[in-house]
């Protein structure tokens, strides 16, 4: 019985391989977005932060959590990144040595907004005491 519950919790967490692949993809994507030009007007002059990459267990899909620096223009940057995902994926394949590069899907990372809201709530609690 104990082995079964241990197996279920381990299945919910990413494996070491998933974490390693995600980190190498994050480094490659950061380098590509800083150095390469994609000739897309929606990405022109915008700095993009890649906070996390979540890889599926079979390593075929990757969810890339990103936010434009300062959180501005996310309504145009995110669709542009998803439009250019196949091109970016080819660039990643040239830099990362994997048998098959995961399919990239870009998502807005709202964890910074959530942290800011929690900070305000905690500061209000401190002021009330």
Tens place of pLDDT per residue across the chain (129 aa): 445 444 445 557 888 999 999 999 999 999 998 887 777 888 888 888 898 999 999 999 999 999 888 777 778 889 999 999 999 999 999 999 888 999 999 999 876 666 667 777 777 777 766
Residue 8 lies in a domain: no
- Distance from C-alpha of 105 to C-alpha of 89, rounded to nearest angstrom: 10
**Count: domains in the chain:** 1
**Boundaries of domain holding 102:** 14-128
Domain assignment present for residue 61? The answer is yes
117 belongs to a structural domain: yes
Q: CATH no. for residue 115?
A: 3.30.300.20
**Domain membership flag for residue 9:** no
For helices 16-35 and 85-95, the axis angle rounded to 10 degrees is 110
Q: At what angle do helices 85-95 and 74-83 cross, to 10 degrees?
A: 60
pTM over 0.85: no
């Amino acid at each position: 019985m104990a082995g079964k519950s241990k197996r279920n919790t381990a299945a919910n967490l990413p494996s070491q391989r998933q974490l390693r692949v995600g980190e190498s993809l994050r480094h490659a994507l950061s380098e590509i977005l800083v150095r390469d030009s994609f000739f897309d007007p929606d990405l022109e002059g915008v700095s993009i932060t890649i906070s996390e990459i979540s890889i599926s267990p079979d390593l075929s899909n990757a969810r890339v959590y990103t936010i434009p620096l300062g959180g501005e223009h996310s309504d145009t940057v995110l669709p542009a990144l998803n439009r250019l995902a196949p091109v970016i994926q080819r660039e990643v394949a040239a830099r990362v040595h994997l048998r098959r590069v995961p399919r990239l899907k870009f998502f807005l990372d709202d964890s910074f907004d959530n942290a800011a809201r929690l900070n305000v709530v905690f500061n209000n609690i401190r002021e009330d005491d």
